Structure 1
Amino acid sequence: MGEMVVVAGATGYVGRHAVLALDAAGYRVRALVRSRERAEAPGAFDAPSLRGHVADWCIVNYAEPSTLTDVCQDAARVVSALGVTRQKASPWDIDFLGNLRLLEDAERHSVASFLYVNVLHSDYGTSLTMRAKHAFSQVLRRSEVAGQIVNPSGYFSDLTDFLLLARKGIGFTVGAGESKVNPIHGADLADFIVEKMAGPAGSWDVGGPDIFSYREMEELAFEIAGRPPRLIRLGPGATASLGWIADRTSPRVGNLARFFLESLGVDAVGTPIGARRLEPYLRSVPDQR
């Protein structure tokens, strides 16, 4: 019987793929979820159902620390893809405090390793999401548990928004759109997670096999959508104004605006891994117009 691995964020895009990859590799998975029913349904962006791939279900609420007590009991390792971007919860409460409470339980039960799916350049951003992720990664580095930090460049699921906007006839770039990124498919990232999880502590910047500038991705999205390119270029003044307005709309809107605008303005290229390519993925996204 294989080792028990606790997976946090199991119903998210990366978490779902991680559960399937761990199960296929012979590990037993303890999935931490808010809803088993939701976890056993197909996920967004063609992410798989967890039905039949989980050995042990734990219903948790990361805002209530008591629900995380002993979730790591008898487990050998932890994989955390836990985090929020568009959900209503505070990134500080989930990305930092939720992961911190899970790490504390992992330390109490002396797990061998804790692999955390962070994001490339989390030390750069000023959004609450980036600051929360960076803060937890720093705590994990100092833990007695072997900390493994995987920093993806971005996900195929994130780039779906470019296509959805292009189908509406619009797109935008920060500046000339020259910043580069190599997004990765969740299944390729999950295979990398399984490969690194049983090894020593470390930190890895990773991405998919294709490197694009944001302008190139916008042009690809318009080509797939069959629409003439109509790009809005956001200069420093526009991005600052949008950030100012978003901050005064609500903390959640302000965080999202900062997170996405800052991401579009900086190179985020990780070591290329995996074989799944972005263009075929985008062409497979259903047109629901």
Structure 2
Amino acid sequence: MDELVVVAGATGYVGRHLVEGLDARGYRVRALVRSRDRAEKPGAFGAPSLSGHVAEWRIVDFEAPETIEGVCEGADRVVSALGVTRQKASPWQIDFRGNLAVLADAEKHALASFAYVNVLHSDAGDSMTMRSKFAFAQALSRSRVTPQIVNPSGYFSDMTDFLRMAQRGMGFTMGSGSTKVNPIHGADLASFIVDRVGGAGGAWDVGGPDTFTYRQLEELAFRVAGRTPHILRVGEGVGDAMTWLADRGSPRLGNLTRFFVESLTVDAVGTPIGERHLEPYLRSVA
């Protein structure tokens, strides 16, 4: 196989697994990164180094559109896991406008497809993260480049937040903690996406093999941490108050809090895929 795939968001948790997976399947990878040195070091949450997996490097700044011009020239497809999580950048600037700039270049150079890692229920979210992802997914769905939109329920890396709280001796749930999620390992998600690169367009809601309530996630986190569970049950009004206070701290803090509260109150269960289970992963990073 001699196809060249542009990967945006290549140094994130999912992006690193995508680069490794594409390379393993015989694709050549053009990685869009801010720092090659950082990219060639191991990533957070057990994500791999990109060393040895990248055919071409492009140094870009997704907040500077001029650095994105020409990134798709000579390539065949795009896979994007570009998005803001814990970084200080604006989701609108990165998740929407950054991806939009890559899409515009893909259209200019007539690439065959654009696979995008969105998030489950982005259409219903109120946080800037969810609104930015949904806005780009809508733009991509109307593109002349074949859209492939994958909506994961949540990542194993996200679940480490519950482990860190348990290690400190306290956790909490919104209401009864009955909201459900089936988070997925980055490598399993990457394998699903790579399977579809080169195929037809579409949209897929996916998750990992195990479904948990958030109460069960908290109990799992305490078990892995080796601590006696202390789980506080808080009402929805507390979530509203947390968001109100965070909004007055900074836009970034407000968005992160709103995104977190949203995830605790809406079921996010995609089609189960993959073979990796959450408990062994948490024990590996504990």
Assess same fold via TM > 0.5.
yes
Q: Cα deviations across residues 51-101 of structure 1 (Å, max 9, x unaligned)?
A: 010000000001111100110001100000000021100000000000000
Q: Cα deviations across residues 116-155 of structure 1 (Å, max 9, x unaligned)?
A: 0000000111000000000000000000000000000000
Corresponding residue of 1:165:
165
> C-alpha separation between the residues in 1 aligned to 2:6 and 2:123?
26
> C-alpha separation between the residues in 2 aligned to 1:199 and 1:162?
37
Matches within 5 A, 1:258-269: 258-269=258-269
Amino acid at match of 2:265: G
User: How far is 1:113 from its partner?
Assistant: 0.2
What TM-score, normalized to structure 2?
0.99
Corresponding residue of 1:201:
201
Corresponding residue of 2:98:
98
How many aligned positions are there? Answer: 286
> C-alpha separation between the residues in 1 aligned to 2:69 and 2:131?
26
Corresponding residue of 1:24:
24
SS at match of 1:227: coil
What TM-score, normalized to structure 1?
0.98
> C-alpha separation between the residues in 1 aligned to 2:258 and 2:142?
28
> C-alpha separation between the residues in 2 aligned to 1:186 and 1:32?
19
Amino acid at match of 1:57: W
> C-alpha separation between the residues in 2 aligned to 1:10 and 1:28?
13
Corresponding residue of 2:140:
140
User: How far is 1:196 from its partner?
Assistant: 1.0
State percent identity of aligned pairs: 69
SS at match of 2:184: coil
Q: Which runs of 5+ in 2 are unaligned?
A: none
SS at match of 2:124: coil
> C-alpha separation between the residues in 2 aligned to 1:274 and 1:135?
28
Q: Cα deviations across residues 148-177 of structure 1 (Å, max 9, x unaligned)?
A: 000000000000111111011011111111
> C-alpha separation between the residues in 2 aligned to 1:240 and 1:165?
20
Amino acid at match of 1:213: T
Amino acid at match of 1:123: D
User: How far is 1:234 from its partner?
Assistant: 2.0
CA RMSD of aligned residues (A): 0.7
Amino acid at match of 1:141: S
Q: Are residues 1:76 and 2:70 paired?
A: no
> C-alpha separation between the residues in 2 aligned to 1:237 and 1:165?
21
> C-alpha separation between the residues in 1 aligned to 2:233 and 2:110?
51
> C-alpha separation between the residues in 2 aligned to 1:85 and 1:49?
19
> C-alpha separation between the residues in 1 aligned to 2:15 and 2:157?
13
> C-alpha separation between the residues in 2 aligned to 1:86 and 1:194?
26
